[in-house]
Amino acid sequence: IPDPQPMNNAATSPVPPDAAALAALQAFLTDLPAGAMTLERLDGFLSALNCAASPPGPSVWLAQVWGESAEAQVSFENEAQARAIAGTLMKLHESIGAALERGGRGGASHRPRLALRPDGLPGGNDWASGFVLGMQIAPEGWQPLLADDEAGQALVPIMMLHHEHDEDEALRPPPIDAAMRAELPEVLADVLLQLHQQLAPARRELQRSERQALTFRRSAPKVGRNDPCPCGSGRKYKACCALQAG
């Protein structure tokens, strides 16, 4: 299974996958054993990853998309299909992040994809469950928000949907009436943007630290083989740490 690779570059802004690509992804996920994500759950899941202060890479989250029990049974018709599915996943992931960034600048933000119930109203439970799963696989990325009770209030609508049909009655929220449910797409879009903005300082700090670490590695002087070993042993580098470095 190929890991999705980043699709965007500095010259282009990520665009969402088209309807045909999404339909192919949905059909592929539907054919997997029980446990694979629906598109609604996937949207919530990727939304959470894009909000997190330190999101995991595809090698971590991809197994959750297939469903952990189904991962070993995932197979593709050919390499072209494998690359197409992986490409659609990464496009979806990056386009959600780009939309949230755009929303933070006052533009159109990401609107969660919510499946409709038989009564024609948006469900939202599957989306919320995907979002919570995205939080659970990257818990450290949510600590800056969870440590602040006031900021954490933004999660309440998501948690209400997540627990709406919980087996534990004590965790179920008050009933969500039809009027409230009809407004879910707008409510969740606002909540999502708020969460993304609240965690933005932590994301920027992580990016700054990563850039500094990269600069340090690039700027470190190259040690000559006959120079003193930087470990402080007093021996020449070629007779010390160079042996371990190969």
Ranges of H-type helices in the chain: 19-31, 39-51, 58-66, 79-104, 125-136, 143-146, 156-162, 178-182, 184-198, 200-219, 241-245
In this predicted model, what pLDDT tens digit does every residue of 177-199 receive, in sequence order? 999 999 999 999 999 999 999 99
Structure tokens at 109: 């933000």
Give the DSSP letter string of 128-174. HHHHHHHHHTSGGGGHHHHT-TTGGGGGHHHHHHHTTT-SSGGGPPS
Structure tokens at 164: 């709406």
Q: Which pLDDT belongs to residue 218? A: 46
In this predicted model, what pLDDT tens digit does every residue of 120-154 receive, in sequence order? 999 999 999 999 999 999 898 898 888 888 888 99
At 9 the three-state DSSP class reads: strand
Q: Which pLDDT belongs to residue 216? A: 45
pLDDT higher at 22 or 206: 22
Closest C-alpha among 91, 89, 106 to residue 14: 91
Amino acid identity, position 224: G
Distances (CA, A) of 11 to 7, 14, 45, 108: 11, 10, 27, 20
At 244 the three-state DSSP class reads: helix
Amino acid identity, position 218: R
Q: Which pLDDT belongs to residue 3? A: 53
Phi-psi region of 158 (alpha: psi -120 to 50; beta: other; left: phi over 0): alpha
In this predicted model, what pLDDT tens digit does every residue of 22-59 receive, in sequence order? 999 999 999 887 789 999 999 999 999 999 998 888 98
In this predicted model, what pLDDT tens digit does every residue of 107-118 receive, in sequence order? 999 999 999 999
Q: Is the pLDDT of residue 99 over 80?
A: yes
At 224 the three-state DSSP class reads: coil
